[in-house]
Structure 1
Amino acid sequence: MLETLYRGLTHLAGPAVRRLLDRRAARGKEDPARRAERLGEPTLPRPAGRLVWLHAASVGESLAILPLVERLLAADAGAHALVTTGTVTSAALMAKRLPRRAVHQYVPVDLPGACRQFLDHWQPDLVLWVESEFWPNLLGEVRRRRLPCALVNARLSETSFRGWRRFPGAARRLLSGFRLALAQTDAEAARLRALGIADVRAVGNLKYSAEPLPADAGALASLREAVGGRPVWVFASSHAGEEEIAAEAHARLAGALPDLLTVLVPRHPERGPEIAARLAGRGLAVARRAAQQSITPRTQVYVADTLGELGLFFRLAPVAAVGGSFVGIGGHNPIEPALLGSAVLYGPCMTNFAAIADELEAEGGALRVADAAALAREVGRLLADGPARSARTAAAAAVAERNRRAVDRVLAALAPLLDEAGFTRTAA
């Protein structure tokens, strides 16, 4: 009943959705040159042969599946991959990071016609949906075409689960197209099972299987030369409201560390000019990377408002605070700095990575801090105490290494669907 109602309403929503896309494009949230993709109109031809379609909502999800994409294509020389996401930032990252024989397109908006046109063109042999972004029309079209479909790296919070439990029939219908769900944790597996997916297994988090973030060696050498022997820390993937927390932490540390350099990497680089202006208004000497402003001895905050360079700054800074965790976003991946030897701190809200955060904290590989004062205290302690910093990074690396086989477990669980879809499975 709810699915029918939703489908009927979205049949009528085309003009409103197009206006919404135009407004988003005006704010830099959509790529005007690729607007057709959002309406289900392809801008690339379908490659010949077997095609696996992986849908990942945004940056974190798309980065998490890169090891899976690489392994699938390495095992089958005749196969191709289509990766869809919904954000401009993730599209730019995929353009840099996808392997050969993999292409990116924007996911179509959830209008019935757009979904049909998208699937008519791409005709995937296998569908892998990532984490928990469920679009009823698109998943319904996959189900009606009887395409082999699995939910991978599945994540479902307790809050979302309670919401779905209010509409059990709709939830069961929506999720019925998934022949298999591979959850990150046992708790999430239990929730998905309760919503009606019959075959659910907890296999771990693919984010553990990702390779360390890349960095340009020349750029890193230049940054190290500019920084010299100054103490430096990075606040990574910051959201609105967190730059002020980082600035307050810097101010608290500046008395004891007058030559401290704080590196701010905004999650959305287009916010760089606004962030720099606000920090300069607080009396801080700010330089912006996107504006090609150099780090000088008087620079106090370096706003790294570029895309895909986090690997540089995790290598540069011995201490990293993970953003999205102080303002209720749910945090970002703490494994990324851990793999590059940067001691990990984050704020009180790590719901997006709850299991990873719990394991890191239990092993002494990360520390949760409450506010700017606690952040400043711990950054100062870690910058001053090399052995404590080394112990933190070693513990985090051990946790990451222990969990790196998640991609192997995902591939093993997907074996029957890969066989059904005609994919070759050989050693990578």
Structure 2
Amino acid sequence: MSGISTSALATGWTIAATLLAPALRLNLRRRAAKGREITARLPERRGIDPTPRPAGPLLWMHAASVGETMSILPVLDALRHRTKVLLTTGTVTSQALLDQRIPEQNLSADVLHRFAPLDVPSWVQRFLSHWRPDAACFVESELWPNQLAACRTMGIPLMLVNARMSDRSFGYWQRVPGLARRVLGGFARVQARGDEDAERLKALGAPHVESPGDLKFAAPALPVDQAEFDRLNAILAGRPVWLAASTHPNEEPLIAAAHRDLAPRYPGLLTIIAPRHPDRGPTLAAELQAPRRTAGQGPPAGEGIWIADTIGELGLWYRLAPIAFVGRSLIPPGGGQNPLEPVRLGCAIAVGPYTGNFSDHVALLRQAGGLVEVADAATLASFVSSMLDNPDQRRRLGEHAAAAVRRHADLPARTAETLLSLLPAQNLASSPAQNLESPPGQNIVSSPGLAR
């Protein structure tokens, strides 16, 4: 790969994305048929949108999925009434979350959600030409070369927020250092989620890197339908309940094995499995001979497993189950899922050994005595058993973890101020009736071409 020039790689990506456009259209329709896209909104994925651009300064923020979206909700609060925000995401789960949270936080007047265009040059250009954002913000590690290149061409300042650089990604970028410099060099500001991420980003050529902290520490608690919680809580009252959340393929058999180990000792035991991808629900239900929520089936009356294959209800499950295992961590390569979500709701949590994408979070919780690490079905069953047998220990574990994550309370406000500094001052000072034809992004920090 070192023998291929950076410009050739960038050009190759652009050509490949253009040639793949027909296949991407077909794939979008297939995803919609599986419930992973919304048919009526597929044009947005090609940059087609009849919705008019809001008047005044417009900040484009992109968060790939639910975790990234949750982390920036406090930032959206801090931006309220100061600029309009075009918030794009790439999943129906994040859209469902925002449909609930935007009205709940009274952000409807300031935040507009759309689905992000796929990284096809003409689709990206159509999107940017229509919305004409004054600045753009990408959350964590969402770096699409044609999007970034088009922003640079249009003079739109870029910021990377809560930036992360995993071991795996860092290894990849180190093999193409020139490409890394061109991609990361296009950002006017980079806020890393931790010191390790900041050092890696600097090593790869990112300018203006700082490490103010992880926005996920300041994220709000996951939402819940209170009436549904009250209903299910009454049904499950008195039963031993634990949750395996955000699970991935090959983890569920281990979770089922842990349940079988525990069931003889805990009459009426309920194990809730909430797969990371809810569309796996029917397959899991068949494999484990378990009822599933989206089929209208409630929890088994006696001991058993219940498949919680719904979208946007993780806050419900974490509230119903005081003991939680956080998935994508038992089977390599893993990577983990966000352990702060259950901690914020007081759960006693366990994770597997493969949590590389959340190493800082796990280290913090470990140091605070707020997390247990398990290696297999047997140790998972042992964790659940100890939590069921020792309610005081379970509460202490949850309290220690919750105390550890109550930090960086002012980080969302500071992040909002940095984002606002990227917007042209004349736009912020002018009225909503300003002339929208002026070019966006007057204070861009120039860089060479962007690619991935």
TM-score under structure 2 length normalisation: 0.87
| Matching of residue 322 in structure 1 with residue 326 in structure 2 | yes
| Conservation of the 8 A alpha-carbon contact between 2:56 and 2:427 | no
| Conservation of the 8 A alpha-carbon contact between 1:179 and 1:197 | no
Alignment-mate amino acid for residue 372 of structure 2: L
| Conservation of the 8 A alpha-carbon contact between 1:56 and 1:130 | yes
| Conservation of the 8 A alpha-carbon contact between 1:233 and 1:262 | yes
Give a deviation string over 1:258-304, Cα, whole Å, max 9, x none.
22111111222222222111111xxxxx3322222233532511222
Structure 2 counterpart of 1:304: 308
| 415-424 vs 118-127, greater mean Cα deviation | 415-424
Q: CA deviation at 1:418?
A: 4.6
Alignment-mate amino acid for residue 350 of structure 2: L
| Matching of residue 398 in structure 1 with residue 403 in structure 2 | yes
SS in 2 for 1:402: coil
Structure 2 counterpart of 1:371: 376
Q: What do you get for the CA RMSD once the two structures are aligned? A: 1.9
Name the CA distance, whole Å, in 2 between partners of 1:133 and 1:201: 18
Alignment-mate amino acid for residue 233 of structure 2: R
Name the CA distance, whole Å, in 2 between partners of 1:394 and 1:239: 28
Structure 1 counterpart of 2:129: 120
Name the CA distance, whole Å, in 2 between partners of 1:378 and 1:357: 17
Name the CA distance, whole Å, in 1 between partners of 2:161 and 2:271: 37
SS in 1 for 2:273: strand
The alignment covers a number of residue pairs equal to 416
Q: Give the direction of change, closer, same or farther, for the CA distance of 1:421–1:322 in structure 2 (3 Å limit).
A: farther
Equivalent position to 1:154, from 163, 173, 189? 163
What is the 5 A alignment of 1:78-227? 79-98=83-102, 99-100=107-108, 101-227=110-236
Structure 1 counterpart of 2:243: 234
Alignment-mate amino acid for residue 108 of structure 1: P
| Matching of residue 245 in structure 1 with residue 254 in structure 2 | yes
Name the CA distance, whole Å, in 1 between partners of 2:402 and 2:276: 24
Q: CA deviation at 1:131?
A: 0.8
| 168-177 vs 136-145, greater mean Cα deviation | 168-177
| Matching of residue 270 in structure 1 with residue 279 in structure 2 | yes
Name the CA distance, whole Å, in 1 between partners of 2:123 and 2:281: 34
| Matching of residue 256 in structure 1 with residue 265 in structure 2 | yes
| 79-88 vs 108-117, greater mean Cα deviation | 79-88
Alignment-mate amino acid for residue 316 of structure 1: L
% identical aligned pairs: 44
Equivalent position to 2:364, from 359, 366, 384? 359
Q: CA deviation at 1:45?
A: 2.2
Q: Give the direction of change, closer, same or farther, for the CA distance of 1:399–1:418 in structure 2 (3 Å limit).
A: farther
Name the CA distance, whole Å, in 1 between partners of 2:222 and 2:100: 12
Structure 2 counterpart of 1:387: 392
Structure 2 counterpart of 1:283: none
Q: CA deviation at 1:420?
A: 4.3
Name the CA distance, whole Å, in 2 between partners of 1:158 and 1:423: 39
Name the CA distance, whole Å, in 1 between partners of 2:141 and 2:252: 28
SS in 2 for 1:329: coil
Equivalent position to 1:342, from 347, 370, 380? 347
Q: CA deviation at 1:10?
A: 2.8
Alignment-mate amino acid for residue 13 of structure 1: L
Alignment-mate amino acid for residue 17 of structure 1: L
Alignment-mate amino acid for residue 252 of structure 2: E
Give a deviation string over 1:30-68, Cα, whole Å, max 9, x none.
322222111111252221222111111122111211111
Alignment-mate amino acid for residue 48 of structure 2: E
Q: CA deviation at 1:329?
A: 3.4
Give a deviation string over 1:227-249, Cα, whole Å, max 9, x none.
12111111111122222121111
Equivalent position to 2:32, from 22, 25, 39? 25
Alignment-mate amino acid for residue 372 of structure 1: A
| 202-211 vs 36-45, greater mean Cα deviation | 36-45
| 134-143 vs 61-70, greater mean Cα deviation | 61-70
| Conservation of the 8 A alpha-carbon contact between 2:274 and 2:309 | yes
| Matching of residue 60 in structure 1 with residue 72 in structure 2 | no
What is the 5 A alignment of 1:280-299? 280=289, 286-299=290-303
Higher relative contact order (CA 8 A, sep 6+): 2
Unpaired segments ≥5 residues, structure 2: 1-6, 430-452
| 147-156 vs 96-105, greater mean Cα deviation | 96-105
Alignment-mate amino acid for residue 234 of structure 2: E
TM-score under structure 1 length normalisation: 0.92
| 121-130 vs 90-99, greater mean Cα deviation | 90-99
SS in 1 for 2:26: helix
Unpaired segments ≥5 residues, structure 1: 281-285
| Conservation of the 8 A alpha-carbon contact between 2:336 and 2:358 | yes
SS in 1 for 2:295: coil
Give a deviation string over 1:154-184, Cα, whole Å, max 9, x none.
0011221221122222222222221010001
Name the CA distance, whole Å, in 2 between partners of 1:380 and 1:418: 54
Give a deviation string over 1:110-131, Cα, whole Å, max 9, x none.
1111111000011111211111
Name the CA distance, whole Å, in 1 between partners of 2:15 and 2:273: 46
Structure 2 counterpart of 1:69: 76
